[in-house]
């Protein structure tokens, strides 16, 4: 006779000997280890021809099992740890510990695929008053909910084109965070086209510098306005001063995808240890009519995996957005689902930087949920829009329900889906769903072969 | 089945957290990109440009 684990849990919380006395002979006493393991986790069994991968996303565990044992593995596994809880699930509405300041839509480049269609011709710049108000809002929220770190990211357009705004806001953030007993984190996403003094200042004063660079000169110049020499010089300057602050973001086109390993090697040789993030070119914004410039996703993901050993050689970690095997959240691809507090150059509040301009993206309205009201001197929010943002999670996509890859891709980027399906995009599956599934499977196989050391997964 | 039993019959067993323990343990990432700390706040543009 076997007694249900939970039923005798209280009794056996004493000792097995005492429990046996209470329950009588013939009762099988389960080990204390088993009794203290009440949490159930979904186990996905993935057929890999010669073996089975068992993937338990909520435990962050991956196993390789002999094929003949597959029937012995149930769909639910018990463990002593509960499913992870993301901090994203527990924040009150409108409580943002940081802000992403889209300082201007002006850019000194005009890259072939820019989703915001930013260029030297655009000239709208955020006022200092709005930027300071956003930072103060974040500092206030951070204090109110008892967090210790507030942050701001400078974004664009090209944020270094409004240099005065960056230096003023940085000083304000550092000083006021310190007054409140908070730490502050300042970061920037830049195209790297700046002078040496500016690069030096960023390396000394910010905490992280994310440079967009698509690869060696032939690729960079083709895709990003002949900017290689300037960007490379900036990256070298920053690396010399603060290598730990530098990271790279590359967009991969149908043209450059065949040079993926060469790009990883190029950045690794010149900037060893710096993380590299890769995303495929997507046909929106300026690239809306460049569908042929989008790389084949199977080719993109195969190239990513093939480049991993090269990244390992240079001590660089690789990242791509659908690879999130270790994030605690099981639901959110990004902060779009009501956690992003991004400010446009016009002073509007938006949940996604790719959906910040109504003139560029027809679906942008669904993502813009507030604005800075000059007459009231504060941010005002549209609660209907804000609450709607909360549905932008993988749980809203019926076809993702029992997919083993959902804990990694989280349903993929909703802005891309909104560009394809301006209505009901939150329930659509990703345009690259099948390729992502195969990729996640291949990554799991790779990890059981090589470990996870150099994947920003 | 308990995870410890699964470990015993597996040819390979990987804990995805183990290699990133430093980050997980000290994470205070305030950001909302879904990374839960991997980026340590530097997660403005997870799918960006």
Quick check: A137 pLDDT over 60? yes
Query: Is the model's pLDDT at A85 over the cut of 90?
Result: no
> How open is the CA angle A315-A187-B34, to the nearest 5 degrees?
75
Residue A84 pLDDT level (bands cut at 50, 70, 90) = confident
The secondary element (H helix, E strand) that includes residue A63 is: strand A61-66
Cβ-contact A418, A355 below 8 angstroms:
yes
d(CA A214, CA A56): 35
Asked which of A33-42, A58-67, A153-162, A440-449 is least confident by mean pLDDT, the reply is A33-42
B11 touches chain A (CB under 8 A): yes
Reply yes or no: is the peptide bond before residue A77 cis, omega within 30 of 0. Answer: no
Spatial separation of the C-alpha atoms in residues A58 and A52, rounded to whole Å:
19
Ranges assigned E (strand) in A191-226: 208-212
Contact A98 B31 (CB under 8 A): yes
Structure tokens at A176: 């006021």
Judged by CB atoms closer than 8 Å, whether chains meet at B34 and A410 is answered as yes
* Structure tokens given for A124: 């709208």
Mutate to test the interface with B, among A50, A61, A277, A337 (most CBs of B within 10 A): A61
Residue B38 predicted with pLDDT over 50: no
Instruction: Flag if A150 and B30 touch (Cβ within 8 Å).
Output: yes
Evaluate if residue B41 carries a pLDDT over 60.
no
Q: Is the pTM of this model over 0.80?
A: yes
Mean pLDDT confidence for A404-417: 93
Question: Is B44 in CB contact (< 8 Å) with chain A?
Answer: yes
The three-state secondary structure class of A248 is strand
Contact check, Cβ <8 Å, A86/B36: yes
Residue A353 contacts B where some CB pair is shorter than 8 Å: yes
Chain A to chain B Cβ contacts (< 8 Å): 174
Give A29's pLDDT tier (boundaries 50, 70, 90): low
The helix (H) or strand (E) run that includes residue B17 is none
Q: State whether A100 and B19 contact (CB < 8 Å).
A: no
Overall average pLDDT of the A92-101 stretch: 93
Residue-level pLDDT at A9: 40
Which pLDDT band, with edges at 50, 70 and 90, does A87 fall under?
low
User: Residue A183 CA to chain centroid, in angstroms?
Assistant: 22
pLDDT of residue A81: 85
Helix (DSSP H) and strand (DSSP E) numbers for chain A: 14, 16
**Mean of pLDDT values over A159-171:** 98
Domain A87-381: homologous superfamily in CATH: Aldolase class I (3.20.20.70)
Q: Which of B1, B34, B37 to mutate to test the interface with A (most CBs of A within 10 A)?
A: B34
User: Of all helices (H) and strands (E), which one includes residue A144?
Assistant: helix A128-144
Q: What is the pLDDT of residue B29?
A: 45
Phi-psi region of A181 (alpha: psi -120 to 50; beta: other; left: phi over 0): left
pLDDT value at residue B24 = 35
Whether the CB-CB separation of A212 and A189 falls below 8 Å is answered with yes
Q: Calculate the average pLDDT of chain A.
A: 89
Q: How far is A64 from chain B (nearest CA, A)?
A: 5
- A90, pLDDT greater than 90: no
Is residue A415 within 8 angstroms of chain B, CB to CB? yes
* Reported ipTM: 0.75
Residue A110: partners with Cβ closer than 8 Å, 6 or more residues away: A118, A119, A120, A225, A286
Query: What residue spans define the domains of chain A?
Result: 1-36, 39-83, 87-381
């Amino acid at each position: 006779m076997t007694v249900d684990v939970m039923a005798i849990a209280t009794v056996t919380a004493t000792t097995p000997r005492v429990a046996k006395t209470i329950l009588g002979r013939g009762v099988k006493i389960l080990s204390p280890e088993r009794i203290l393991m009440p949490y159930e986790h979904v186990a996905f069994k993935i057929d890999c021809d010669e073996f089975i991968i068992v993937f338990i996303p909520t435990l962050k565990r991956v196993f390789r099992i002999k094929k003949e044992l597959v029937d012995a593995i149930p769909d639910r596994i018990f463990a002593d740890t509960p499913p992870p809880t993301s901090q994203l699930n527990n924040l009150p509405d409108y409580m943002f510990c940081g802000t992403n300041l889209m300082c201007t839509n002006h850019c000194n480049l005009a890259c072939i695929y820019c989703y915001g269609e930013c260029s030297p011709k655009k000239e709208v710049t955020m006022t200092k008053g709005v930027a300071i108000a956003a930072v103060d809002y974040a500092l206030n929220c951070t204090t109110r909910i008892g967090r210790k770190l507030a942050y701001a990211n400078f974004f664009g357009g090209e944020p270094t084109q409004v240099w005065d705004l960056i230096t003023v806001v940085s000083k304000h953030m550092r000083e006021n965070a310190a007054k409140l007993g908070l730490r502050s984190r300042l970061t920037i996403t830049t195209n790297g086209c700046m002078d040496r003094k500016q690069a030096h200042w960023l390396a000394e004063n910010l905490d992280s510098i994310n440079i967009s660079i698509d690869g060696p000169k032939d690729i960079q110049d083709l895709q990003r306005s002949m900017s290689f020499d300037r960007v490379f010089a900036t990256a070298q300057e920053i690396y010399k001063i603060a290598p730990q602050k530098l990271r790279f973001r590359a967009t991969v086109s149908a043209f450059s995808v065949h040079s993926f390993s060469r790009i990883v090697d190029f950045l690794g040789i010149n900037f060893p240890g710096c993380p590299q993030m890769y995303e495929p070119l997507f046909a929106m914004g300026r690239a809306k009519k460049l569908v042929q410039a989008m790389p084949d996703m199977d080719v993109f993901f195969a190239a990513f995996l093939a480049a991993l050993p090269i990244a390992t050689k240079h001590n660089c970690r690789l990242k791509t957005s659908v690879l999130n095997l270790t994030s605690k959240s099981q639901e959110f691809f990004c902060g779009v689902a009501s956690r992003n507090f991004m400010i446009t150059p016009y002073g509007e509040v938006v949940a996604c930087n790719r959906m910040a301009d109504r003139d560029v993206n027809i679906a942008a309205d669904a993502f813009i949920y507030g604005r800075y009201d000059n007459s009231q001197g504060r941010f005002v929010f549209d609660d209907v829009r804000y609450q709607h943002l909360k549905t932008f999670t993988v749980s809203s996509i019926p076809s993702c329900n029992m997919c083993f890859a959902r804990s990694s891709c989280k349903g993929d980027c909703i802005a891309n889906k909104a560009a394809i399906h301006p209505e009901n995009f939150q329930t659509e599956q990703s345009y690259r769903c099948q390729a992502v599934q195969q990729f996640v499977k291949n990554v799991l196989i790779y990890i059981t072969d090589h470990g996870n050391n150099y994947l920003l997964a | 089945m308990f995870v410890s039993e699964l470990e015993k019959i597996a040819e390979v067993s990987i804990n995805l957290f183990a290699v990133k323990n430093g980050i997980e343990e000290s994470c205070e990432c305030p950001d909302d990109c879904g990374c839960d700390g991997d980026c340590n706040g530097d997660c403005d543009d997870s799918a960006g440009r």
